[in-house]
Structure 1
Amino acid sequence: MSGGGFHVHGPHDHELEHAAQHEPKGLAGQLAVITAVLATVGAMFAYMGGATQANAGLYKNNAAIKKTEAANRWNYFQAKSSKQNLAELALDLAPSEEQKAKYRDKIARYEKEKNEIKAEAEKLEAESADWDIQSDAQLHQHHRWAQATTALQISIALAAITLLTRKRWLEGATLAVGGIGVALGVLAWFHV
């Protein structure tokens, strides 16, 4: 309290001044800055982890769509094969050369259509496989981001324990685990 040039410290003020003067190298201040930096980097890593997880799901969905389209094309291929088989049977059973020529034309048409359908189905299967590969890569990257985020969260917890116990060696552990988290984030960034 102050009044008319007279200043009296309250018990709380005295404790704060004492802590500030006797705290080794401003441990609380250092830990506050370290924690803020770790939390900021951790938030960015968590965002990237969520984004890669969403991408993995979208890519897997695209793979499933392409796989379904390919299955539909293969079903159409089977239908054309069945029609071709019936035309071949009809060719064998046709009594006149005129009817046989009609069935030969149908067989040739079905064979041509089957080849086109087969090419489309194989292309769709390849696209599905590509989407699966991209999904797997995104999921791997998501795991790296999650590992990095977890390490940073552990580091933040260590900073809190350091502040409570005032053990300097725990500050080193905080920085080491935080460094591991950042290293894992760098690996995630470079898709390793």
Structure 2
Amino acid sequence: MSGHGFHVHGPHDHELEHAAQHEPKGLAGQLAVITAILATVGAMFSYMGGATQANAGLYKNDAAIKKTEAANKWAYFQAKSGKQNLTEIAMDLAPTEEQKARYRSKIERYESEKNQIKAEAEKLEAESAEWDHKSAEQLHQHHRWAQATTALSVSIALAAIALLTKKRWMEVATIAMGLVGIALGGVAWFHL
């Protein structure tokens, strides 16, 4: 190339200029678009996978808190049972009917308190089981999102191999694996 406007270049330079001036066509252009779409969808799936994993952990934590509260209630129930048992022994050993009546009223109070405590403990256990169930559902959904993201990652890797080998059947494999990933994402979306 000279400074006087005269320009000489080889066939390779002509092809590069032509490719730069025109829209990408052929295998490379198709793979670039496919890869961009797969990467975008994969990023969304990855986000959803992380969100469901975080939710699973939070729900499991809530289940553990409710389980601990239930255990505390059951311990309180046992303490009331122990007091009731001691009061029953004291009633049996009481020398007068007046003392027996006083112990009998305490026993009735303990029984009433125990029934309330038992109901509260059972309610907390049910809430804990519900949180555990929600956690398991979120973890299952997380696995589906992770499978979808993995399939899309494999698809992007196949796109790179297709570009390097210039094999059309690899492009088909890229698209097929991408569709598998999108299908798995649909399964995750619909909680299947």
Aligned equivalents of 2:2, 2:117: Cα separation in 1: 92
Deviation for aligned residue 1:17: 5.3
Provide, for residues 96-130 of structure 1, a one-character-per-residue CA deviation record: whole Å limited to 9, x for no partner. Answer: 11111110010000000000000000000000000
Identical pairs, percent: 81
SS of 1:7's equivalent in the other structure is coil
Question: What is the Cα deviation at residue 26 of structure 1?
Answer: 1.7
Partner of 2:106: 106
**Cα distance 1:2–1:75, how it changes in 2: closer, same or farther (>3 A)?**
farther
Q: How does 1:1-192 map to 2 (within 5 A)?
A: 1=1, 3-9=3-9, 13-14=13-14, 16=16, 25-192=25-192
Query: RMSD of the alignment, in Å?
Result: 1.9
Equivalent AA in structure 2 for residue 89 of structure 1: I
Moved more, 120-129 or 93-102: 93-102
**Cα 1:63–1:85, aligned 2, differ >3 Å: closer, same or farther?**
same
Letter in 1 for 2:107: I
Within 2, Cα distance between the matches of 1:124 and 1:115? 14
How far apart are residue 9 of structure 1 and its match? 2.2
Equivalent position amino acid for 2:108 in 1 = A
- Code of the residue aligned with 1:144 in structure 2: it is R
Report runs of 4+ in structure 1 exceeding 4 Å deviation: 1-4, 17-20
Distance of 2:43 and 2:5 partners within structure 1? 49
Task: Name the SS for the 1:144 alignment partner.
Answer: helix
* 1:27 positional shift: 1.1
Which amino acid is the alignment partner of residue 64 of structure 1? A
Equivalent pairs counted in the alignment come to: 189
Q: Distance in 1 between matches of 2:4 and 2:170?
A: 46
Q: TM-score, normalised to structure 2's length?
A: 0.93
Letter in 2 for 1:129: A
Name the aligned partner's letter for residue 49 of structure 2: G
Whole-angstrom CA distance in 2 between matches of 1:10 and 1:90: 112
Using structure 1 for the length normalisation, give the TM-score: 0.93
Farther off after superposition, 4-13 or 169-178: 4-13
Query: Which ranges of structure 1 fall in alignment gaps of 5 or more residues?
Result: none
What's the CA shift for 1:19?
7.3
Cα deviation for residue 2 of structure 1 reads: 6.8
SS at match of 1:191: coil
